Chain A
């Protein structure tokens, strides 16, 4: 690459950085003040692209385009205010993870709303009036609109900086980011502050989206991509730091642009195609930054958030009645092959549910008792699944060996990633686990020769007698029960007590001689191991696997399962996984708009059962005078 080409790529990167910065800045502001990790932030960005497209094409001209961009920012801002007032305000006191679930439901609903309103096709907006041409820079032609974008980022940064330092609103935002309770005790109405911050953040996302329509088409996949980008930028820059967000946006956009620019390089002994790294570059940057600077480039250690949620109930062993119920369910499941002779689908559904149970209980193990919110649990599921499938494909090993190797591979992955992850906490830990999962995903996706790339691995069928679905169902049942009992055993052993002590008060736990990091690290490994069992079973159940197995969607599904059931009980993840898997397999078949339906169900659950399904039953039960 020549120096000119290099500099040109730098300019390209700067114009992408502006978009990244706009969406990340809003996310960071919202998180700082409300402590809500707004998963719907990417969806607001996506809405920005669609709404601006509509203005630019329906009204057209200068008014339609430039006026449309301003109008879009205002509309999305209003929508943000509406979301805060109608939904989030009701759940500020709920556990942090519940808020995540609610905003994730919004992702689903907004995505289907966009599908319904604008249809599935990509929509490319008109070119920007006044910026249609290109200028020649360094011997290449750079669109003038890109130059405009390069300028927009720093301008917004400056405007935000002045707002935060020179206005009372800005000072309130900064004060509330540190101690919102104290701000309230000084006479500031937090509700109004939260709504306006949410609206501001949403408007920034809408603006970011609207500015993109002249470059990239409006697309239904934008929401999760933009969300991922925004998270990476915020975490790399440091949560709550606006200049940090800009710095991180520039770094990430530049690394990506350079990966594309460098292209394929022949090192003599090996040829590397750098453009393939674009998928994983940002996550690599994030992983490195988090390992070196755990609070991001310009971030500071988070002040302990004064928790307003109820403290967690201790975990109690199941009562005889619940144990009896468990036995009844187990007997029912054992009889399922007999009952389901007429409908083979029931057994397939049963296998799906059991695998989901393994996945969710293993995630719950680190999330609930461990207090480590992993956003990348799919990595261990995927390692198990790919481990099993590749052993069969390349070494033709029997299923038994593959099913044993799968959890071991997942264990290795979990121990490796966990070693870094347990050094962080909260959102940073969540993001680092996500980064590792994305790296695994990208590796599988790109390493076509070994993993089959996007085609995945096919023909991973179980040998007789497990080729019959009843036999495979029973195998899955045995392993699932074993997995759940193993995790339960860990939780009621001293190891489990140490884990929970480390979650509740890390300093005191260390003071009585518990090596909290080591305990949490081992817990991470155990969770990975068990999750790998599920992954191995999954590969043989489906007969083929693709990178979808490790996709971020699966990690999020796991979170939804755990939260749906309730984090604070051991039966929670089992119930949550079952309900989720059944809903997923049934609702999905009913309607084209399954996401919206799923989202609506989750929202209903969140608003009516803020402790999860099992938690809600337990408190109903207690009110009725019993103990579960």
Chain B
């Protein structure tokens, strides 16, 4: 579904990512793990075309997107939920959802991608259903996190880049987020998740890549990482 080959990225003169290569298969939930500053968010932004200085090949859905503008990437069915949420605070919940709206989409084999409407999303996130007319700026962090995911789903994506969905939200919401991810996986979506929290990642991911200093240090099945305290201590524990 998504294959990244030798991805490098820079902020000004500082190189942040060094030749990252990894893959996300169809219907798979893959976690990018690592401490703060390891380069998880930068990887997501670079895939999305939001970092001007980047190099390497990114193939999504058999399509080379390494030179594409962000909107072209989004229109190919790659959804992005940023870690800082970036809700349009002057717009209401419904209006925020409307900004993310895109036409229905199909997988390469002709199978339709999950089609999302505000009604369906309100079922997935009952909290949002209670406040369709509330401006984004007057929502709690957890509610904003749900809105960000819902807004991205409005584009009927084939694969979603979820940047730290569990960060800074209440434990109850974290649990709800995990359920949502499992739900989305059942719908047939692929997900690339960035996470620091091993307990959260363990609940939802199939495979994991561990990042440090902009390089992939380890990768394997999630169960393997969960049972390997040595790797966890070396790359994840703070």
Instruction: List residues of A whose CB falls within 8 A of some B CB.
Output: 168, 171-172, 174-175, 177-179, 181-190, 308, 310-311
B91 interface residue (CB < 8 Å to A): yes
Q: Of B50, B52, B86, B91, which one neighbours A174 at CB under 8 angstroms?
A: B91
B155 interface residue (CB < 8 Å to A): yes
Interface-central residue, B71, B90, B95, B151, by most chain A CB under 10 Å: B71
Q: Of A179, A184, A311, which one neighbours B70 at CB under 8 angstroms?
A: A184
B74 touches A186 (CB 8 A): yes
Q: Of B50, B52, B80, B88, which one neighbours A175 at CB under 8 angstroms?
A: B88
Determine the residue in chain A with the shortest Cβ distance to B95.
Answer: A171
- In Å, the complex CA distance between A186 and B86 comes to 11
Sorted nearest first, the 4 A-B pairs with minimum C-beta distance are: A187-B74, A184-B70, A182-B86, A175-B88
Q: Of B52, B89, B155, which one neighbours A186 at CB under 8 angstroms?
A: B155
- In Å, the complex CA distance between A142 and B212 comes to 75
Determine the residue in chain B with the shortest Cβ distance to A181.
Answer: B50
B205 interface residue (CB < 8 Å to A): no
B70 touches A178 (CB 8 A): no
Given A171-B99, A175-B99, A311-B12, check contact A186 B151 (CB 8 Å).
yes
| Nearest Cβ on chain A to B6's Cβ, whole angstroms | 23
Contact with A along B129-153 (1 / 0, CB 8 A): 0000000000000000000000110
| Nearest Cβ on chain B to A622's Cβ, whole angstroms | 13
Instruction: List residues of B whose CB falls within 8 A of some A CB.
Output: 12, 48, 50, 52, 69-71, 73-75, 80, 82, 86, 88-91, 95-96, 98-102, 151-152, 155
- In Å, the complex CA distance between A178 and B84 comes to 14
A185 touches B74 (CB 8 A): yes
Q: Specify which chain A residues have a CB less than 8 angstroms from the CB of B98 in the assembled complex.
A: 168, 171
Q: Of B69, B151, B152, which one neighbours A184 at CB under 8 angstroms?
A: B69
B88 touches A189 (CB 8 A): no
Q: Specify which chain B residues have a CB less than 8 angstroms from the CB of A311 in the assembled complex.
A: 12
| Nearest Cβ on chain A to B186's Cβ, whole angstroms | 24
A175 touches B155 (CB 8 A): no
B82 touches A182 (CB 8 A): yes
CB<8 Å pairs between A and B, sample of 10? A168-B98, A168-B101, A174-B91, A175-B96, A177-B90, A182-B82, A182-B88, A185-B70, A186-B152, A189-B71
A185 touches B99 (CB 8 A): no
B12 touches A186 (CB 8 A): no
A187 touches B71 (CB 8 A): yes
Q: Specify which chain A residues have a CB less than 8 angstroms from the CB of B50 in the assembled complex.
A: 181, 185
| Nearest Cβ on chain B to A33's Cβ, whole angstroms | 13
Q: Specify which chain B residues have a CB less than 8 angstroms from the CB of A187 in the assembled complex.
A: 71, 74-75, 100, 102, 155
- In Å, the complex CA distance between A168 and B48 comes to 24
Q: Specify which chain B residues have a CB less than 8 angstroms from the CB of A186 in the assembled complex.
A: 71, 74, 80, 99-100, 151-152, 155
Q: Specify which chain A residues have a CB less than 8 angstroms from the CB of B88 in the assembled complex.
A: 174-175, 178-179, 182
- In Å, the complex CA distance between A179 and B100 comes to 13
Determine the residue in chain B with the shortest Cβ distance to A192.
Answer: B71
Q: Specify which chain B residues have a CB less than 8 angstroms from the CB of A189 in the assembled complex.
A: 69, 71
- In Å, the complex CA distance between A184 and B95 comes to 16
| Nearest Cβ on chain B to A171's Cβ, whole angstroms | 5
A178 touches B95 (CB 8 A): no
- In Å, the complex CA distance between A179 and B73 comes to 18
Q: Specify which chain B residues have a CB less than 8 angstroms from the CB of A190 in the assembled complex.
A: 71
| Nearest Cβ on chain A to B163's Cβ, whole angstroms | 11
**Given A185-B74, A187-B100, 16 other A-B residues pairs in contact with their CB atoms under 8 A:** A168-B101, A174-B91, A175-B88, A178-B90, A181-B50, A182-B82, A183-B99, A184-B71, A185-B48, A185-B50, A185-B70, A185-B82, A187-B75, A188-B71, A308-B52, A310-B12
